[in-house]
Structure 1
């Protein structure tokens, strides 16, 4: 049974139209990214999520906004998939949670036509989606009732359509996550090897197809895209299992969840210290793991050629002092953040956006205008000697074509049961 979500209805907490950062991260996604736009029906016996986040502290895009000095405009909604229609067709599930395309439509209805070209050209649009498409489709994929190739194509096409909508709005800079390797999360680690391999292959094929679509968009000069960079969640999850990485991060357990729930969402066991675990439940990372993802994203913002490897992650952990970050000691906290959930990161969620759209846009446009005037004045002195350079893009993945992959003919239901419960977690 799918969990129901409702939009948060909370008092606006000291919203200031003029944020401290001149540029924005405009983000769409699911519960890996949600900062409180949606929440589960509260279950006092369930996992103790922190202030609307599906973690025990801030999530990755909050760290990213902090370290990259951006205002965070967050339209991510927990439980979202790339396309509700696709899930209905392939998985026979009807979702009442706004998918990524609907999130972007809501954003466009709120801000469409309000931001100047300068704002749209410099802000960064981020799309993080796809995990729930996999979880919702696991049963059908494994028992053979779902056409795996067709579903994979549908997911990748929907992610491409999301980016296309944002291009139509005028955005030029994009960071798009690939789908994490769920077979390397606690949700998948206890499954039989054959089912883990099949799941990983399906996700890899879908990521490859998505990369091909985005690479083709980037090559289309008529779209005016500056860059599309891939946030590599797939390899991040894999690398977090490496001893060098989890040791550097101070994690004692990356293979089991801190909290274990039964099918009624009642916690039946828990760890002593979530900050030493990589995962709160079988799917959702703890805040220290989120901080690592935030550091990866911040680095990607500045270096489009960045690759997720064991060595690069260990370097980031040291550089960003991630081992010192916890749910109680955190660079995003004010004195009262742990109890209020309000961080020191300028954050605009769906509710604040809809209540203050004109003020937000006016402040952004004024800031961009001032910045452009200043840049024009200083650059005019050296423009004759400057040369243009192409934007970098991480698009080394080979074309997907019509590659086939098989989930095999495993007849026992044991391998399915390893994943069926987590299909209700809806990341």
Structure 2
């Protein structure tokens, strides 16, 4: 197995990659309910990061936090705490600093994944309290800050192999569709495509700067989701893909006592934004295919 060539996998990111960090941070109170979110993941089963860890049969470091943003000086994400307050989660730049404090340098045979950006764009359409925009910014600015973090991984921490996951098609998120607001839906589409385009350009520029000793790649998570929505049944996904597995009731008491799940094995979305367990497994398989063709370990000196 290709992933067996890597000594260790590193995951930095947001709820799409979080394997329980927010759950631990909030004393096992978020995300909830547990009948929906498996072991504190933002999915109803193993995430793509869990699957890659299984495939690799090696150790992993996961510092991804649900609601994380790229740079908390531009926009930050917060989560609800048991005492009814909200606490800011580490952004990607914070996570990189945490990683450096933890291990110092990266080994040539360690593979880093970075997945973030959706929550920064959420701050433009969902103002507070979960996503807080602190400054005016553009998608291009976000991409520059993100790739500055990748540059730090490569220059300061000696990373040799980094995969950046671009942002899924946000205009297809059930929560975005449910707004019934054409302006929000169109803005979500345009902002996502702008961020992904700028991200690709910035990564290509950094690759040219660093040369062949470093391998950088952008995985097209956006295209992955779009392929499923174009032919959902071909992927074993329910044809009405925009209907999530779980919708939180408006009444808190009902939320506690009645949990209704719709087709949990085949739903594309577990909730208003996050992928269900079948899509997570499909994503992991596609990532492995990409690695097999584009991201081999550089020769050791």
Q: For this structure pair, what is the TM-score category when the shorter chain's length is used for normalisation? A: 0.7 to 0.9
Alpha-carbon distance, 1:153 to partner: 2.6
The number of residue pairs the alignment matches comes to: 272
Question: 1:109-152 CA distances to partner (integer Å, 9 max, x unpaired)?
Answer: 11105x5xxxx222111100011111122146xxxxx8998331
Pick aligned residue for 1:212 from 175, 193, 201:
201
Query: What TM-score comes out, normalization by structure 2 length?
Result: 0.80
Pick aligned residue for 1:181 from 157, 169, 183:
169
Query: What TM-score comes out, normalization by structure 1 length?
Result: 0.57
Query: 1:37–1:77: 8 Å Cα contact kept in structure 2?
Result: yes
**Partner in structure 1 of residue 265 of structure 2:** 275
Structure 1 portions without partners, runs of 5+? 1-19, 89-93, 141-145, 306-371, 377-427
Where does 1:214-229 land on structure 2 (aligned, <5 Å)? Answer: 214-221=203-210, 225-229=213-217
Task: Report the secondary structure of 1:260's partner residue.
Answer: coil
Question: 1:298-345 CA distances to partner (integer Å, 9 max, x unpaired)?
Answer: 11111129xxxxxxxxxxxxxxxxxxxxxxxxxxxxxxxxxxxxxxxx
Where does 1:181-330 land on structure 2 (aligned, <5 Å)? Answer: 181-190=169-178, 191-221=180-210, 225-243=213-231, 245-262=232-249, 266=255, 270-304=260-294
Q: Name the CA distance, whole Å, in 2 between partners of 1:282 and 1:43.
A: 13
**Partner in structure 1 of residue 14 of structure 2:** 30
Alpha-carbon distance, 1:103 to partner: 0.9
When residues 85 and 176 of structure 1 are mapped into structure 2, their CA distance, relative to the original with a 3 A threshold, is same
Alpha-carbon distance, 1:201 to partner: 1.0
Q: Which structure has the larger Rg?
A: 1
**Partner in structure 1 of residue 80 of structure 2:** none
Structure with more contact order per residue of length (Cα contacts < 8 Å, sep ≥ 6): 1
Task: Report the secondary structure of 2:15's partner residue.
Answer: coil
Structure 2 portions without partners, runs of 5+? 77-85, 128-132
Q: Name the CA distance, whole Å, in 2 between partners of 1:56 and 1:45.
A: 10
Alpha-carbon distance, 1:21 to partner: 7.2
Query: 2:159–2:214: 8 Å Cα contact kept in structure 1?
Result: no
Q: Name the CA distance, whole Å, in 1 between partners of 2:103 and 2:251.
A: 40
